[in-house]
Amino acid sequence: MGEVQDRDAGEAGDLDRDLDAADDGDEGAVSDLPSLEPAALAGVLEFLARGLVDDPDKVRVESVESAGRVTLRLSVDQPDMGKVIGRSGRTARALRTLIRAAGVRAGVGTHVEIVEE
């Protein structure tokens, strides 16, 4: 069987110091992110949806912009609808949350509709 090695107190202190140093440099990390263009939101949703479905070639996202708001209409192949919606709508809710966060970064409100083709 393998041996369990005790961590030397000096090693643990070094690790703590390294983690503290890394934390100090990340304080402005969120504000340092590049802004996102509203037109790119459709690409983000398409990328996420393609990773969920069996037939990624059938994923389509239509973007409609109006008055500082973007509506994204996601359509997938009928057999993949359940994968995009998820159990009790959990996957759809997660997609909407991610797109809402990306929309905040782009400075626009977002709405995601999942439609049948």
User: Does any domain span residue 79?
Assistant: yes
Instruction: Return the CATH number at 107.
Output: 3.30.300.20
Residue 71 domain boundaries: 40-115
Of the candidates 79, 75, 53, 48, the residue with the CA atom closest to the CA atom of residue 62 = 75
Is residue 51 situated within a structural domain?
A: yes
* Within a domain: 1: no
The Cα–Cα gap between 103 and 9 comes to: 46
pLDDT by position in tens, the chain (length 117): 555 444 444 554 554 555 455 455 555 555 566 677 878 899 999 999 999 999 999 999 999 988 889 999 999 999 999 999 999 999 999 999 999 999 998 889 999 999 987
Residue 22 in any domain: the answer is no
Query: 71: which DSSP letter?
Result: E
Sheet arrangement for strand 109-115: 60-66, 69-75, 109-115
